[in-house]
Amino acid sequence: MSVLLSILRDPDALPRLRTQDWNLLQRESRSQQLCARLSWVIEARGQAQDCPPDVWTDLTAQRFFAEHKQAQVRLELRKLHKALRPRGIPILLLKGAAYAQAGLRVARGRDFADLDIMVPRESLEAAETALERGGWISGTKNRYDQRYYRRWMHELPPMHHRTRSFEVDLHHALLPLTGRLRPDPALLWAASRQLPDSPFRVLCDEDMFLHGAAQLFQDGEIAGQLGALLDLHQLLEEFGPRDGFWDRLLMRAPVLQLGRPLYYALHFTRRLLDTPVPAEVLRAAQAHAPGYWMRRSMDALVPRVLEPRYPTRRPARMAAWALYLRSHWLRMPPGLLARHLLRKALRGGKG
């Protein structure tokens, strides 16, 4: 097990690290962009004094970058609300933006690659028009890519403002329209909640966790996404003690067709990060487990691509490639998938 994963799993192991372990911990946390989050994990356990001063300074310095990105998110959200407010379009925050605006602990030190928001499907065209008038433009110029997003995906092509580089993903659903699992957006909106003193809404606790699970294990390629697994781990740490959360989670997953991602999320957070999940919840989630050979395959592949391998071991390229193909197989029917991958391959060859 990598040093970073072992510390995220058991921060009490910090005093046992040797000098070479500290060096490796810094390298692995940088490669996964988890320095700031690791510093918060250590501080929350009251173990900052167990870190060498130079290592602790390096880890906490990364917090300034994370705070800067979160400030950018807040600015972008104000601008988005200003653009959409005249149309009366409600905004549902997803993933990192939701964590930060809801004040969840998982947002501490979290980096942001983009900003994910969701609007009702019937308001999608009006929302896109309002954003274009407000200065947001699509960065996707290829006609096939535009058609791919608009006909088959759960979001429009990524948009960014002409004077700001922060990327905005405008969703109307959680998973691709061509995918095997399609949670009903109406159910998500109905269970969502309004943030206090805010124009934005966020998913309820169980839907927020299920969305993260679906993004990682149903729509994602998994490789290099230790941060996404850490999101799930920290969400369960925060939501788990709340009254009735586990019962609501188990009941909600099949309603949204997300029983399989729930199984994978609980299984791998427990296995890799020792997440506190009640035994009866794990047993109940087994009802959504795949068949024997798929379980064996995922148990072999997922830890290899999630565990940091830099810089001491070769990248798990074959495992990553297998999970990449799996993600596309779940995202599209076979005929459409074959045409899509062929087109991508031909475009890559021309490039």
**Which pLDDT does position 139 carry in this prediction?**
77
**Which pLDDT does position 328 carry in this prediction?**
85
Q: Which residue do the tokens 């407000």 mark?
A: 134
Ramachandran area for residue 88 (φ above 0: left; ψ -120 to 50: alpha; else beta):
left
**Which pLDDT does position 348 carry in this prediction?**
65
**Which pLDDT does position 309 carry in this prediction?**
79
Calpha distance 146→240 (Å, rounded) = 40
Radius of gyration of the chain from its Cα atoms, rounded to whole angstroms? 21
Q: Which residues contact 283 (CB under 8 A, 6 or more apart)?
A: none
**Maximal CA-CA distance, the chain:** 59
**Which pLDDT does position 141 carry in this prediction?**
76
What pTM does this model have?
Answer: 0.94
Number of Cβ within a 10 Å radius of residue 184: 13
**Which pLDDT does position 244 carry in this prediction?**
96
**Which pLDDT does position 7 carry in this prediction?**
94
Positions in the chain whose pLDDT score sits under 50: 351
What the block records as the tokens of 178 is: 């061509």
Length of the chain: 351
**Which pLDDT does position 42 carry in this prediction?**
94
What the block records as the tokens of 234 is: 């920290």
**Which pLDDT does position 351 carry in this prediction?**
44
**Which pLDDT does position 261 carry in this prediction?**
97
> Contacts for 53-57 with beta carbons within 8 Å, 24 or more apart?
55/22, 55/25, 55/26
Calpha distance 87→137 (Å, rounded) = 18
To the nearest 10°, the Cα dihedral for 219, 118, 72, 149? 50
